Structure 1
């Protein structure tokens, strides 16, 4: 029987990396869209969206699962 893959215990560098990568990637996309469309606000939207997605990914990765509950309660009555 194979064991389930263990999630990391909460390395802060992973969390930092997700947020920075999100800000950098979506900020760059916003900057490129600004250059292409001739606007000036899309870079800010990209940075905010990247930060939000980075925080979301961090929360999903480091979420702790509650302990599994048994399917039926055990009773000692007969």
Structure 2
């Protein structure tokens, strides 16, 4: 039978900072951007169809890109180490 090894400890400045950090997976960032553009673009398209306008889909796509970038930044930023 195969024996299981205990998990190894991370070496870092402090144990608290290494356990709460998200993994830096670029697919998460890509997913945030694509889903933001898709969801808000679809919302803008639906509002365009409902209101009879032609510009809300472009605004929705831009807002989706901005929100996707914000979500990526919020997830992957380094937590501040200044605690008082």
Structure 2 residue 37 is matched with structure 1 residue 23: yes
Q: Which residue of 1 aligns with 2:25?
A: 11
Q: Which residue of 2 aligns with 1:63?
A: 77
1:68 positional shift: 4.8
Q: Structure 1: which 5+ runs fail to align?
A: 72-78
Cα RMSD of the aligned pairs, angstroms, is 1.9
Number of paired residues?
Answer: 68
Q: Structure 2: which 5+ runs fail to align?
A: 1-15
Cα deviation code 1:13-72 (max 9, x no counterpart)? 000000000000000000000000000000000000000000000000001024356x6x
TM-score normalised according to structure 2 size: 0.72
TM-score normalised according to structure 1 size: 0.77
